[in-house]
Structure 1
Amino acid sequence: MRDGLAAYDVAMTGSQRLRIVPSQFAVDHLPNSTFPEDDEWIALVRAPEGLTVIREAPAWAEGEIWKGFYGEAGGLDTPGTLAALVGPLAESSVPVFVASTFHADLVLVPAHRLEEAVSALRDAGHRVAE
């Protein structure tokens, strides 16, 4: 296990069980929208600068494609759960985009960096099912 932030976070929250979501995703920004025109979205975040939309991306999609990790439910009152995941990815310089749910976090990484992300998370003590 690496030292620093990742070691601290895993010690605080324990090893997490993660699965790789079989879908691939696209993250879009719609600057002048408050809601997408279709219902093909997975998650929405509305902010002053517009709408961010996470969608399932078709196999033929162009642009940045993301793969997702989803963990077991940790609960809203468990501190450090998300930090324990993004810390090791940051240490490995793997970009992330996160959508949180009531039960867990969907942590997206660029599809071409998936193997690197899996290695970083496993090295930090997490269990990743493929």
Structure 2
Amino acid sequence: MNASTAQRLSIMSPTFAVEHLPHGGLPEDDWLVLVRAPEGLTVVREARGADAAEQWIGFYGGATAHGLDVPGMLSAIVKPLAEAAIPVFVASTFHADLVLVPELRKQQAVTVLEEAGHQVMSQDGAAGERSGDGTGAGR
């Protein structure tokens, strides 16, 4: 990765659930992402207690928003996660990408992303999610 694709990623809160609804199914109003495709609706929403086995953590690159013409931004996040065999679900906005990883893989994902040159912050803006000291070192 080069310096132009390094990003400041915020860990979104709360955790999320990803679900599929058939055409004609109506999601509740708590959705964050809604995609209509030929096979139905994909919904990303806040996880509830019943979703315990399928919760996802979101990394959002809004702090380093970019135009649609900037190549490699999503790849810079997804490639190191793929190389570490961490599954992802991605939703892109006009300016940035939301990359979801299974909640159980959060620490590994943070480590991988920081080692790839990204800065990972908690939602309150604290850097160094792994160590709490801003360096990304530790654990």
* TM-score normalised by L of structure 2: 0.80
Residue 14 of structure 1 deviates from its aligned partner by: 3.0
Q: Which sections of structure 1, spanning at least 5 residues, go unmatched?
A: 1-9
* 8 A Cα contact 1:13 1:79, kept in partner: no
Distance 2:26 2:105 in 1: 28
Q: Match for residue 118 of structure 2?
A: 126
Q: What is the deviation of 1:32?
A: 3.1
Shift of 1:36: 2.2
Aligned pairs, how many? 120
What secondary structure is seen at the aligned counterpart in 2 of 1:61?
helix
1:44 aligns with 2:34: yes
Structure 2 letter corresponding to 1:109:
V
RMSD, aligned α-carbons: 1.6
Q: Displacement, 1:37?
A: 4.1
Quick one: which of 14, 17, 22 aligns to 2:5? Answer: 14
The partner residue of 2:17 within 20, 26, 32 is 26
* Structure 1 ranges of 4+ moved more than 6 A: none
1:94 and 2:86 aligned = yes
Q: 2:57 aligns with which of 48, 56, 67?
A: 67
Percent identity among equivalent residues?
Answer: 57
Greater strand fraction, Structure 1 or Structure 2: 1
Unaligned stretches of 5+ residues in structure 2:
123-139
Measure, in 1, the Cα distance between the counterparts of 2:82 and 2:121.
21
Contact kept? 1:122, 1:128, Cα under 8 Å: yes
Q: Which residue is equivalent to 1:57?
A: 47
Deviation per residue, 1:46-78 (Å, 9 max, x gap): 111111000011355333100000012112111
Is this contact kept in 2: 1:18–1:129, CA < 8 A? yes
- CA deviation string 1:85-104 (max 9, x = no partner): 00000000000000111111
1:3 alignment counterpart: none
Normalising to structure 1: TM-score of the pair? 0.85
